[in-house]
Structure 1
Amino acid sequence: MDNEVIGRVLYLGLLVVAVGGYLLVEYRGRMGQMLRGLMSWGMIVVGLMAAYGLWNDLGVQMVPRQSVATNGEVVLPRARDGHYYLSLEIDGTPIEFMVDTGASGVVLTQSDAQKLGFDPGGLVYLGSANTANGIVRTARITLENVRLGSYEDASLSAYVNDGAMDGSLLGMDYLGRFRVEIDQDQMILRR
């Protein structure tokens, strides 16, 4: 153990001795009452930890991803990470995208390409793209029957990234088909 860990262990030990000594003196002869109090506070702390964990896990799912208004506009709320996300239905399969106005093309992860029936190992990676992680190889594909709310497109050119990606990106090749407006914490897409 290094000196920092030893110091922390000593500090924690002194804290436990001080609080434990106080409790023993204060509740001398009433150990049952002390144990009930400690158990109550322990349950409260465990409950708060569970609530915090659930909030982090479920919070993203409870926030609406996108909505389609009656006038046909698609409204995307800003996510907690500051980005906008939307789901496109491609040939009947929903695929989640991060909206990236700085990207020129639509880029799929290998797992999303596989969901759509493409074999990432069998694709020909002739292209390349400059990303924040450097230059990656790309394979050009065509997506059929692309749907966002009431908007339908027969086909859309896209790329499959040969490198690792956290999620698929929706770039200007698709977003350019819309009038894009950012108003406070929402992005509005209209045709």
Structure 2
Amino acid sequence: MSQKDLPHAAKLLTIWLVIGLVIFLGIKAWEHEREASRFKLAGQTVVLTRAPDGHFHWPGRVGDIAVDFLVDTGATSTALPQALAERAGLKPLGTISTQTAGGSAAGFAARADIALEGGVRADRLMVAVLPNLGAPLLGMDVLGRLHFSQKPGELRIESKE
């Protein structure tokens, strides 16, 4: 390759890099829009749309840490992965053994301040912290305080008050 060809090659490389960047940013914007559309607030009603993984997800916070809770109506209590609990500064209150969909699991109990999009809060909630849990699970200890109804692909949640 001669020096005369270098500017042309550099231009082509730059064009392809820009095209790749535009495609990448477009995909990221589409993913963000798809994620945002799974949660809607209609007045006092939270509307969750089923995600591609088949579950309902409810964005929220554990302390100051943003999380995406998996809504689990089959779980008695809310459960958090140990790595998340450590990042949130939760302190173990004692060891626990619990039954999960994958069998029994050992972990520890802790208290957490849970805040969900749409204004739902559970302060100092007793949670199970499990080392091998893949995602935070929002259980009936929180969901039982709410009125929820389901139709295909949609979960509507309202306060019981």
Question: Residue 134 of structure 2: SS of its match in structure 1?
Answer: coil
In structure 2, relative to structure 1, the CA distance for the partners of 1:154 and 1:62 (3 Å cut) is: same
In structure 2, relative to structure 1, the CA distance for the partners of 1:189 and 1:100 (3 Å cut) is: same
Name stretches of at least 5 consecutive residues in structure 1 with no aligned partner. Answer: 1-46
- The aligned residue for residue 66 of structure 1 is 39
- The aligned residue for residue 146 of structure 1 is 115
Kindly provide the CA deviation profile for residues 108-145 of structure 1, in whole angstroms up to 9, marking residues without a partner as x.
001211221136xxx36521111232211121111126
Question: Residue 110 of structure 2: SS of its match in structure 1?
Answer: strand
Q: Does 1:87 align with 2:59?
A: yes
- The aligned residue for residue 8 of structure 2 is none
* Residue pairs, 1:2-81, within 5 angstroms: 60-63=31-34, 64=36, 65-70=38-43, 72-81=44-53
The 8 Å contact of residues 90 and 112 in structure 2, kept in 1 or not, is answered as no
Q: Does 1:112 align with 2:115?
A: no
Kindly provide the CA deviation profile for residues 50-75 of structure 1, in whole angstroms up to 9, marking residues without a partner as x.
x7xx86x77653312312222x1111
- The aligned residue for residue 168 of structure 1 is 136
Name stretches of at least 5 consecutive residues in structure 2 with no aligned partner. Answer: 1-18
**Higher strand content, 1 or 2:** 2
In structure 2, relative to structure 1, the CA distance for the partners of 1:159 and 1:143 (3 Å cut) is: same
The 8 Å contact of residues 107 and 129 in structure 2, kept in 1 or not, is answered as yes
Q: Percent identity?
A: 26
The 8 Å contact of residues 122 and 142 in structure 2, kept in 1 or not, is answered as no
**Higher helix content, 1 or 2:** 1
- The aligned residue for residue 104 of structure 2 is 135
- The aligned residue for residue 128 of structure 2 is 159
4+ aligned runs moved over 6 Å, structure 1: none
Normalised by the length of structure 2, the TM-score is: 0.71
Point out the structure with max Rg over C-alpha: 1
> RMSD across aligned C-alpha pairs, in angstroms?
2.7
Normalised by the length of structure 1, the TM-score is: 0.61
Q: Which has the higher contact order (CA 8 A, sep 6+)?
A: 2
In the TM superposition, residue 101 of structure 1 has moved relative to its aligned partner by 0.7
Question: Residue 113 of structure 2: SS of its match in structure 1?
Answer: strand
